[in-house]
Structure 1
């Protein structure tokens, strides 16, 4: 352990520092604008692929320009947006799959019954989460009503209160119904985060429920459980605008075991599946289930074609990956 002694430096000093490390600048004005919008610290991970190995001074390989860094940064930004677009669609469909099965088969307020969950599942935490959502919505409604009471047009006050009461189901339900205390299951699933939804699915007690839900996405239950967990991790990376392109994930998603499951041959043979490539394969499969006419895979191809300099091996892509039938949508 040692004392931190690095000084904070402004953008001009940052550029000067990068120059001493061998980075070339064709347009310093554009570089300054970029560093004003994207901090030096955020850009640092995108420098490492261009720096000399085992160089304590973080020197850059000869001929490296600032544009190489910004190109890689832009690629990663667009990759995150593409991943988030698919994750959003999958998340919405997973909510629907759980709701559309559990509601009709277990009742409108099925999640209130602890017996529908495994013993290790924190059922009380789920109830507290939904209860807090409703309580927060009611507090927001009360503040809205206070502002409405100060409205000069008295005739509109009741109309405005009525409108505000329906702005979210989390406030509408407790304002309308006294029993049960908490909203029905189809509304509850919409209030949960993807992480909460992933835990809820994994915590269901009955295999018949988990299998029926997974079947709606053309999966078996162990795959859906693992993939929801994986996508929660990836979503959090993307939501915080963190580096994705060459990230080594802390988890390994479960891979299909059935021979007839359409899946890249590379992943059937390789034990390395903690990079981004398997995640993109998961999203490609799920997008074809939730949106059969999707062009998501084409957009991925176009993104990679726009950045031919990006090292796909760092993302776990095999050679000639485009030739695998998995990446060719069925007619």
Structure 2
């Protein structure tokens, strides 16, 4: 057995890991619960969530030193709330990216299929750079993509693909695309000729083909982070978001810091989702989720690319919270008061009567409880 590096960290059991957190200044309300969470999630997975809460010192404008000591007031409960918050964001992102992936895959396959059912085999549809073999390389990007593509087809269990393979029929692109993943789609688009890229962008209302390439890379990256349960809410994007020049993006006017964080991705995702399903309420859910972020040392709106006041709802009118309908609210109160009076009258009349209609009383109380729940929702 090879000798391990001298700097390798020693193995620690869960109780010792909890002691380690305590010794560094983290407040643990329930050490047994903390130990249980470490067994379920893992010390180093959670460490990404408490890392922003460590003490630090600036040594240069953009360079800091982190210490192995937590800032005052850091609690394990707040760190775990951060973890759950990030999980909710991942689920919302995956929900949106699923629709976008299928939508873009369908558009690409349809537009190229119009050229030829197997347009993805014709090098004329791709850039010269992607089809040429660079010095010291054995294969071009085009060749490597097709090798991966062929493997995806062979591994696929989609009935439509298996039917073509079993019957030795050529597979058209609109069938083959069912085997693609987001990375396959992103790479294919990046290799297309400029004319074919612009043809796809025109379908999406994007003025520059490089913008969609940038989006696909970022969406693929965030999808992979979500799929592997990695932290997403306060990390930098794979690449700084590029934006087209149109009314939506001109109004939002993303700066460099916003374009490099989660908020920039949310802006892009909503642009695409709005084209797929104009009635989608995804942006409402995301806005509410971001505004309700937990109070955690080191987790700020700014760290997610948002303004310090939270989600900028004025830029997204659909997310503006409205007050409940006053007439409806008043009607519910009046109805509740009337039923209250009915109960009081009944009890007053029969306070000396042993034959009180208990069934009627029960139904009335249940009705009042139902009204109370409606009022609470408002």
Shorter-chain TM range is 0.7 to 0.9
CA contact 2:284–2:319 (8 Å) conserved in 1: no
Deviation at 1:254, TM superposition (A): 1.1
Offset, 1:35: 0.8
Corresponding residue for residue 184 of structure 1: 172
Q: 1:244 to 1:31 in 2, by over 3 A?
A: same
User: 1:294 and 1:47 mapped to 2: Cα distance?
Assistant: 34
In the alignment, structure 1 residue 302 sits paired with structure 2 residue 302: no
Tell me the distance in 1 between the aligned counterparts of 2:8 and 2:121. Answer: 54
Aligned to 1:26: 29
1:72 alignment counterpart: 82
The answer to whether the 8 A contact 2:53-2:71 is kept is yes
Check 1:136–1:93 CA distance in 2 against 1; reply closer, same or farther (3 A cut).
closer
Equivalent residue in structure 2 for 1:217, among 204, 209, 214: 204
2:315 paired residue number:
326
Name the CA distance, whole Å, in 2 between partners of 1:263 and 1:10: 53
CA distance in 2, matches of 1:222, 1:184: 27
d(CA) in 2 for partners of 1:291, 1:223: 21
For residue 314 of structure 1, what is the aligned residue in structure 2? 303
Task: Kindly state the Cα deviation for residue 279 of structure 1 after the two structures are TM-superposed.
Answer: 0.8
Q: TM-score, normalised by structure 1?
A: 0.81
CA distance in structure 1 between the aligned counterparts of 2:288 and 2:313, rounded to whole angstroms: 17
- Is the alpha carbon distance of 1:127 and 1:49 closer, same or farther for their aligned partners in structure 2, counting shifts above 3 Å? closer
Moved over 6 A (4+): none
- What SS does the corresponding residue of 1:125 show, helix, strand or coil? helix
Q: Which is higher, the Rg of structure 1 or of structure 2?
A: 2
Residues 191, 328 of structure 1: CA spacing in aligned structure 2 closer, same or farther, 3 A cutoff? same
Which among 243, 252, 256 is matched to residue 244 of structure 2? 256
- Aligned residue for 1:114? 123
- Give the aligned partner of residue 268 of structure 2: 282
* Cα separation, 2, equivalents of 1:227 and 1:167: 28
Assess if the C-alpha contact under 8 Å between 1:133 and 1:170 holds in 2.
no
Partner Cα separation in structure 1 for residue 66 and residue 184 of structure 2: 43
1:87 to partner: Cα distance? 1.1
* Larger RCO of the pair (alpha carbons < 8 Å, separation 6+): 1
Greater shift, 31-40 or 242-251, is seen at 242-251
The structure 1 residue matched to 2:145, chosen from 119, 126, 146, is 126
Say if 1:85 and 1:264 are closer, same or farther in 2 by CA, change over 3 A.
Answer: farther
Instruction: Show the counterpart of 2:55.
Output: 52
**Inter-CA distance 135–5: structure 2 relative to 1 (3 Å threshold):** closer
TM-score, normalised by the number of residues in structure 2: 0.72
- Alignment partner, residue 92 of structure 1: 102
Question: What CA distance in whole angstroms lies between the structure 2 residues aligned with 1:17 and 1:195?
Answer: 40
- Cα contact 2:15–2:35 (8 A) shared by 1: yes
